[in-house]
Structure 1
């Protein structure tokens, strides 16, 4: 019986790799550089070589390894076909088959946000649940949907792309996706800063944020915790926008719990409390008691998810 699995999380700058026991304990983790030159053609080979080196170092035979689970920053179909990853230079190809051929082990590939959600379900903030929606609030807004313990990839690998739900028909600024009024434009770190700067520039109301040269999402939440009324208004807007969007998602997915992660989530329960308040206001009655929790695995979530994906495959 296999004793080990590998979880891999490919980012635009580094690849994070974790070695896990079959029970979910991380034995080791390390990073290698993501070589995106020449269309990212070296990435999978570098990953395979690094894993081979670790197997030799730990004196682990491949027969003891169930396989490799890997998250990539882009849409991935259920069969492991990547539908372009701009950050990596990849086009359309089956990354699972390709890496499996190189290293001689089974490989499961999924979108990185879905993998992170799977990791949080397995060993993080969603542990104990098998139906979760993870919301990643960072520079952008990502999401991962786990139903019955399995990732929801969707036909085009776009399952869980909640950051691009349209929430404002009157928005004039363009989202990174090329459309206008996306959830990401209001609830990401950059969206919070945008709302703060707009409010600061259109009102004379006093605020500690006026003493900051470059406003950040962290400073907005910190100021709100200190009782700053203008900052509290921004936090309230953030919670209302996110809570309302999640209420719509609950009507379709009906999860047991929403797990909030990403850099913005470091602000803590001020986010879950505000979001949950508005969620209950907008949610369908059968979904009102959906739980909210913070992610706990941080940057390791994708590796944990990869390991879980291959364990469950």
Structure 2
């Protein structure tokens, strides 16, 4: 059997997995997350899912989760959408069950590492990954290494104050729900058909995202920013207003050396989880 790395993406609604064999993701599948069950039940569900992959010769297991993690100890500190999953020694649990190296990190950090290792971010030493969907996530790669920060909280620009709320309120799907009372995908279809109100929605969205990216540029000045998440598919609708806002950035030389790219990976979460195993122990933590 070919050596394989197992990547898991644990979310509030589903647990998705896949194995990397010779640089290609295979055997991608998912199961529902028993988010309303107790911790032991959730852990056993994860274990059963991992066990279903053991017909592959698994070398290591990478896990991405939508919450904060003590990366050194492999402890999940909390998940907003899974109430019972608080202070879970997930690495210890999985290692004791299967005897394989286990690496865990925040899913947005995994996204940044995944696009750096396997996607459009390959050629950049310094990049930021931003996921645009139901929420906003951020991950940072510095000198070719993932920077997780304390409890994997680096890149959490979503919670930074902006206008009367925070960046997530204006740069995620929440913006379209709260101001236009529609889902981004539905509004995108209307905008493509020429609906002026929908076009205006994406122009405003591009402005807000531009302000977020300016915030990031002042702190990090990366070579590239890679956009992921479902809203990235509507990029042509907000690209112009995004760049119009970026044009007000104070340091033109930073903009001249910046590339804004769209992730082309279909399974960025799994790629990112796999990348944790492939890159360790070079992950940088504060």
Report the TM-score when normalising by structure 2: 0.87
Distance 2:75 2:253 in 1: 36
Structural mapping, 1:188-207, within 5 Å: 188-196=172-180
Cα-to-partner distance string for 1:163-183 (whole Å, 9 max, x where unaligned):
122110xx2xxxxxxxxx111
Superposed displacement of residue 101, structure 1:
1.7
Superposed displacement of residue 107, structure 1:
0.4
Structural mapping, 1:153-302, within 5 Å: 153-168=148-163, 171=164, 181-196=165-180, 215-289=182-256, 290-298=258-266, 300-302=267-269
Superposed displacement of residue 196, structure 1:
2.7
1:76, 1:153 within 8 Å by CA — same for their partners in 2?
Answer: no
Uncovered stretches (5+) of structure 1, i.e. residues with no partner: 172-180, 198-214
Structural mapping, 1:63-102, within 5 Å: 65-79=58-72, 80-88=74-82, 89-102=84-97
- Equivalent residue number for residue 177 of structure 1: none
Superposed displacement of residue 71, structure 1:
0.4
Evaluate the alpha carbon distance shift between residue 225 and residue 50 of structure 1 in structure 2; reply closer, same or farther with a 3 A threshold: closer
Paired residue total? 276
Distance 2:185 2:31 in 1: 29
Distance 1:33 1:236 in 2: 36
1:222, 1:267 within 8 Å by CA — same for their partners in 2?
Answer: no
1:248, 1:283 within 8 Å by CA — same for their partners in 2?
Answer: no
Distance 2:238 2:118 in 1: 22
1:36, 1:42 within 8 Å by CA — same for their partners in 2?
Answer: no
2:204, 2:241 within 8 Å by CA — same for their partners in 1?
Answer: no
Report the structure number with the largest CA radius of gyration.
Answer: 1
Which aligned runs of 4 or more in structure 1 are off by greater than 4 angstroms? none
Evaluate the alpha carbon distance shift between residue 311 and residue 227 of structure 1 in structure 2; reply closer, same or farther with a 3 A threshold: same
Uncovered stretches (5+) of structure 2, i.e. residues with no partner: 281-286
- Equivalent residue number for residue 4 of structure 1: 4
Superposed displacement of residue 18, structure 1:
0.7
1:250, 1:283 within 8 Å by CA — same for their partners in 2?
Answer: no
